[in-house]
Amino acid sequence: PDSARAAHVATQAIRAMDRLVFIPGRLYSQVCPFWAAYSSDGSIATVLPWGIVSAVRIRGAARAALASITSTLTSIPLALGLIAGIIVLAALSTVVPQGMDPAWYGAHFPPLVAAVIRAVRFDVFFRSAVFLGLAGLLVLNLGFCTVTRVVRRAARHAPVRVGPDLVHLGLLVLAVSGIATGLGRREQTLAMVEGDAAGIGSGYHLALRSLQFLAYADGSPRDWISTVGITREGRPEVVVAPIRVNHPLRLPGITVYQSGWDVSGTLRLRDKSGAEVTPPQPGDYFRVGDSVWVFAGFQRDGTAWSAAFNRYEDRELVERRSVRPGDSVGPFTVEAVEAHDRTGLKVVHDPGLAPFLAALLLVTAGMSLTFLQKRRDPS
């Protein structure tokens, strides 16, 4: 009985999904009998464009030309050709490093190849006209296919597999989300120490209240947690929330991600005469006899901070030393180690996110349905 019940529920779900696609198609064929008539004879898979063609009364050769264009745009061989083109070029793009300097390609490829790469923008393939053109045609192809199938089915009253239609619809929504992201995404990265504050767009103001660094027993990082207070223009309330890696803070209009972590600071040194020298940056070095001392950065030392130095002789690391105020390193004495944990927060406004999630849902639902329907009707 349980399995019968499950089968019943599945059938109902499939029917409901079918309605979802069937009803708009049916409406369409009621409102526009002419287009539906074209689609119902099933000879040419053309619906929407034919409506336009007949509305503006195109006749003769122009009509025939349009017919051949629309039937081409609905064809599966075209889809296969476009997919094959994208496959080959996308695969090639992974062996041509993307986004390098134009001169780089000249130095790493034969002149002709480098010239082609630059001419067709293969250095930024996924933003190039070639890729966007192929993808755009595929989306057009997909749109024609989807609309044709839905309307044709409604006109014939034939319950066909609705799963693939949902998948195709989901992909169209995905294309919309891609466009929305491409046009409307704004992104900002903040490097903040405790107490810093900044405006982050959309009327929000973010203040970093505290920072926490969680480590595993071996000292490697486990998580970074930035606790922030957020206010919005004209609103009195303050939202206080922790932001962790993989747990972004989602607010209407923006999302804030924990994207990085480092230490910023100043190492104050005095030379033998007691004068303060320009504070070194990590990576700076000085020589003492045969040794080279490299300032490696700041280190947490219990609750205090120390500065790490590495000493090299003949390019070999011979000593690591961490120094605190009062210690000396080479000809210098450490006056102060002023360091702070610094968090990297990424603030993103992406109008494509909601349609993107909708697209994923549609594709997932559509594939599950396709699978169920195939199992019931393996033909």
Partner 1 sequence: MATVALVIVAAAAVFQAAFLLRRENRRDPVSHWMLAAAAVLLLLTLARRSLQIRFAAITSTYEALLFFAAALCVVLFILRVVRRTQGFSPFVLFGATVVAVGLLALSSSPLAPPGIHPPIPALRSYWLVLHVALSFIGEAFFVVSFVAAVAWQVVREEDRRAELDRLVAAAIGVGYPVFTLGALVFGAIWAETAWGAWWSWDPKETWALVTWLVYTAYLHSRLVKSLRGQVSSWLAIAGFAATAFTFLGVNFLLAGLHSYG
Q: Which partner from the list partner 1, ligand HEM, none does 93 bind, CB cut-off 5 to 8 Å by kind? A: partner 1
Which stretch, 152-160, 297-305, 321-329, 356-364, contacts partner 1 (CB under 8 A)? 356-364
Looking at the chain, list the stretches that DSSP marks H as alpha helix, in order from N- to C-terminal side: 2-31, 33-41, 48-55, 60-73, 76-93, 102-108, 111-119, 129-156, 163-184, 353-376
Q: Is 368 in the site for partner 1 (CB under 8 A)?
A: yes
If contact means CB under 5 to 8 A according to the sort of partner, which of ligand HEM, partner 1, none does residue 145 touch? Answer: ligand HEM
User: What backbone phi and psi angles, to 5 degrees, belong to 123?
Assistant: -75, -20
Which range binds partner 1 by CB under 8 A, 19-27, 316-324, 334-342, 367-375?
A: 367-375
Positions of E strands within 216-331 = 221-232, 239-244, 249-251, 254-270, 285-288, 291-301, 304-313, 316-323, 328-329
Q: Which is nearer to partner 1, 257 or 332 (CB)?
A: 257
Q: Is the backbone of residue 288 left (phi > 0), alpha (psi -120 to 50) or beta?
A: beta
Q: Is 366 helix (H, G, I), strand (E, B) or coil?
A: helix
Helices (runs of H) and strands (runs of E) counted in the chain: 10, 13
User: How far apart (Å, rounded) are the C-alpha atoms in residues 192 and 210?
Assistant: 10
370 scored as a contact of ligand HEM (CB under 6 A): yes
Between 100 and 172, name the residue whose CB sits nearer to ligand HEM.
172
Task: Report whether 59 contacts 185 (CB < 8 A).
Answer: no
What does DSSP assign to residue 193?
-
What 3-state class would DSSP assign to 187?
Answer: strand
State which of residues 38, 224, 305, 332 lies at the interface with partner 1 (CB under 8 A).
Answer: 224
Adjacent-strand bridge partners of 231:
205
Six-digit token pair at 218?
Answer: 């071996």
Piece in contact with partner 1 (CB under 8 A), picked from 63-71, 192-200, 214-222, 305-313: 214-222
50 contact choice in partner 1, ligand HEM, none (CB below 5 to 8 Å, kind-dependent) = none
164 binds ligand HEM (CB under 6 A): yes
In the complex with partner 1, the residue whose CB is nearer, 33 or 253, is: 253
Give yes or no for residue 368 binding ligand HEM (CB under 6 A).
no
Calpha distance 275→290 (Å, rounded) = 25
Is 359 one of the binding residues for ligand HEM (CB under 6 A)? no
Q: Which of 47, 139, 142, 363 binds partner 1 (CB under 8 A)?
A: 363
Q: Least distance from C-beta 368 to ligand HEM, angstroms?
A: 11
Q: Reduce the DSSP state of residue 105 to 3 states and report it.
A: helix
Q: Where are the beta strands (DSSP E) in 289-360?
A: 291-301, 304-313, 316-323, 328-329, 332-349
Mask 164-203, x = binds partner 1 (CB under 8 A)? -----------------------x----------------
- When asked if residue 225 is in the footprint of ligand HEM (CB under 6 A), the reply is no
Cβ atoms of residues 11 and 17 within 8 Å: no
CB of 75 to ligand HEM, least distance (A): 6
Question: For 326, left (φ over 0), alpha (ψ -120 to 50), or beta?
Answer: left
Mapping DSSP to helix (H, G, I), strand (E, B) and coil, where does residue 296 land? strand
Is 168 a binder of ligand HEM (CB under 6 A)? yes
Residues 6+ apart with CB under 8 A from 305: 263, 265, 298, 299, 337, 338, 339
Residue of 171, 211, 336, 345 interacting with ligand HEM (CB under 6 A):
171
Examine residue 160 and tell whether it contacts ligand HEM (CB under 6 A): yes
Report which secondary-structure segment, H or E, holds 204.
strand 204-215
Q: How far is the CB of 288 from partner 1 (least distance, A)?
A: 34
Of 15 and 374, which has the nearer Cβ to partner 1? 374
Contact call for residues 321 and 202 (beta carbons, < 8 A): no
313 near partner 1, rule: CB under 8 A: no
Query: Per CB under 8 A, which of residues 103..142 are in contact with partner 1?
Result: 108, 126
The residues of the shown chain that bind partner 1, judged by CB under 8 A, are 76-77, 79-80, 83-84, 86-87, 90-91, 93-95, 97-98, 108, 126, 187, 216, 218, 220-224, 244-248, 255, 257-259, 346, 348, 353, 356, 360, 363-364, 367-368, 370-371, 374
The residues of the shown chain that bind ligand HEM, judged by CB under 6 A, are 75-76, 79, 141-142, 145, 160-161, 164, 167-168, 171, 367, 370
